[in-house]
A and B are shown apart, each in its own frame.
Chain A
Amino acid sequence: MLSKRVIACLDVRDGRLAKSVKFVNTKDIGDPVEKARLYYEQGLDELVFYDITASSDKRNIMLDVVESVAKEVFIPLSVGGGIRSVQDATNLRLAGAEKINVNSAAVLRPELISECASAIGNQNVVLSMDIQKVEQSEERPSGYEIVINGGRTPTGLDALQWALEGEQLGAGELVVNSIDADGTLDGYEINLTRMLSEAVRIPVIASGGAGKPQHLQEVLTEGKADAALVASMVHYGTYTVEELKKYLHENGVKVRMSW
């Protein structure tokens, strides 16, 4: 039986690890390569790097980070942030990324998803969606809206419609990131995650809000997510990846327990 995955997300700015609360007030919390190695040794199933570097002239720093990590971490490595073209995707793949996450640029130009899918394979293209709860309306029947530019710009796009369109265009996986839950440590947005997971036939990664091991269990069962993304709760040492997996295992969630 397929295991549920625990994925750690590392936000990287100018080559250093950063963590934001509700997408603002980022602060430096360490070396991404060191953290990646630590989580790998603790049994992490997959790693996501999100490049939040503001200036484009510092973008190559990310390639170095990916390259260093790929030399010693032998689990799938996914990279997102600022990917606007097949060339960006290919450069990151050569540096050692397995999967590519597209987000804002795909909302502005949806063909980016199909272009990347035909260049590197559907299974390697992850559509990452930042989503906020809104009033249900004719334009946004799901009651959730897509937000871009690191959570700053509402698009008016309905989250469910965008997820389905993304799948249609060739995305191999979805990251469902709740802006409302992000950084709160109060738990994932279960309803949103379940709604999207039931609507698509590609894996769904739940993101935003994890603070306790129980939150992962909830989103992987009730929320029907295939994977749970964690950040703060492991970055600050509140929990180790191993503790999270042990909790899930003991509470009936199938996870990989030997590494």
Chain B
Amino acid sequence: MNFSNDRTVIIDYDAGNLRSVQRACAEVGCDALITGDPEVIQHSTRIIFPGVGAAGAAMRSIQAHGIDEVLLDRYEQGVPILGICMGLQISLTHSEEDDQETIGLIEGQVKRFQIKDLSLKVPHMGWNEVTVVRPHPVLAHIHPGDEFYFVHAYYPHPKDESCVYGIATYETPFCCAVGRKNFFGTQFHPEKSGRIGLQLLASFFKWDGSIAE
């Protein structure tokens, strides 16, 4: 694959170690640049928006760097964006974590797991099966039974059901893949999910940001 005309950025807002994402991109043939500079993000043609941590701290850092505005702009310009974990969560409108208003590319809430079975631990950590409920170019090569690596205590809940592309089950089913227009987000970590995760990243790099309506 040749992505030489591709200016892919991995957004850095002090929310965790991004080099594992960068390494996984390199493995599928994409040299992605880690940056928190809005100028650089403004000129990107493809964006990966990762992150771990808490919603409140994440939003403060995003706003301090002026990343929320440039991200909204890139979204409106049709640039393909992949949100991972916290990057997906704060792309919704509100998080129960820290009762935080978030960027709002997609209308929806981020909710905390309410697990009744005390033997199930929170955070939900480990490998779990992802069921594709709606086809999407980024999920093109995912098959029934394929598992991804998760680490989280909160999950996305888009307002519009048609934004839900993948679900997993932890006591009850929850949304773990969200899409709208040129934005796609995963609650799981493709960069830590072996060959299948790399496949998802490769599909993202081939995606032009459009979806069949």
Q: Which residues of A contact B (CB under 8 A)?
A: 1-5, 40, 45, 70-72, 74-76, 93-94, 96, 98, 120-121, 123, 172-173, 201-203, 224, 226-227, 256-259
Contact = CB atoms under 8 A, between A and B. Distances in A.
Interface of B: 16-17, 19-20, 23-24, 26-27, 52-53, 118-129, 143, 145-147, 149, 151, 169-170, 191-198
B145 A257 contact: yes
18 contacts: A3-B147, A70-B19, A71-B23, A74-B24, A74-B191, A74-B192, A74-B193, A75-B149, A75-B194, A76-B149, A94-B17, A123-B125, A172-B125, A202-B121, A226-B126, A256-B147, A258-B145, A258-B196
B123 A259 contact: no
Contacts of B23: 70-71, 74, 96
B194 A123 contact: no
Ranked nearest first, the 10 interchain pairs of A and B with the lowest CB-CB distance are: A256-B147, A3-B127, A256-B127, A123-B151, A259-B194, A93-B17, A2-B126, A2-B128, A258-B145, A76-B192
Contacts of B118: 201
Contact of A1 (B20, B53, B125, B128): B128
A118 B169 CA distance: 29
Nearest to B123: A123
A182 B122 CA distance: 29
Contacts, number: 86
Which of B53, B123, B198 has most A Cβ within 10 Å? B123
A257 B146 CA distance: 8
Given A3-B127, A201-B118, A201-B121, A258 B16 contact: no
A96 B125 CA distance: 19
Given A74-B195, A226-B126, 4 more contacts: A40-B194, A70-B19, A98-B17, A226-B121
A147 to B, nearest CB: 26
Nearest to A73: B194
Given A259-B194, A259-B195, A5 B127 contact: yes
